[in-house]
Amino acid sequence: MSLILEKLAALGLVLPSVPTPVAAYVNCVRSGNLLFLSGGLPIDGDKRVIGKVPTDVSIEDAKEGARMIVLNRLAVIQDAVGSLDKVKQIVALTGFVNSAADFYGHPQVINGASELLVEIFGDKGKHSRTALGAAALPLNVAVEINLIVEIED
């Protein structure tokens, strides 16, 4: 078994099925040793984190949504390269928060994703990051996250 899958199991986490893109794009594009992952949404089966933060969705629930997205992005990586053990570095993360105009806690929400990546990958999970607010996001989700990941063969 993969070391990263063992780490996930030890954390009580399971990768979801690879999500199907909801429009005219692909989940991931590889260029050399970099994977450019499309924005992931906090949707896993019937579980969805929908609405504006913090008016419809609490900061903690949105942070949990960011963690959900990390797991679905990891499923995409595994599907693309065959093993999460090939991750050399999480290079960059861009997080968008569907937020009220007077909300400024975007970094708190995106910390859900950043902290989980470091918990799973250690130093390889440390990344550059942008956390932004948005007036609206696709399907009215509370959070959307994309990644750039370096892999090794």
DSSP 1: -
pLDDT band at 122 (very low <50, low <70, confident <90, very high): very high
Q: b or e along 72-99 (b: 16 or more beta carbons within 10 Å of the residue's beta carbon)? A: bbbbbbbebbeebebbebbebbbbbbbb
Domains in the chain, start-ordered, CATH in brackets?
Answer: 3-151 (3.30.1330.40)
Tell whether the model's pLDDT for residue 142 goes beyond 90. Answer: yes
At 153 the pLDDT is 82
pLDDT-above-90 percentage for the chain: 95
More confident residue, 22 or 121: 121
Tell whether the model's pLDDT for residue 22 goes beyond 90. Answer: no
153's tokens: 């063969």
Count CB neighbours of 32 within 10 A: 7
4's tokens: 């990263």
Mean pLDDT of all residues belonging to the chain: 97
Residue 77 neighbours by CB under 8 Å, 6+ apart: 28, 35, 37, 84, 87, 149, 151
**pTM (two decimals):** 0.96
| Distance (Å, whole) CA 35 – CA 108 | 26
At 137 the pLDDT is 97
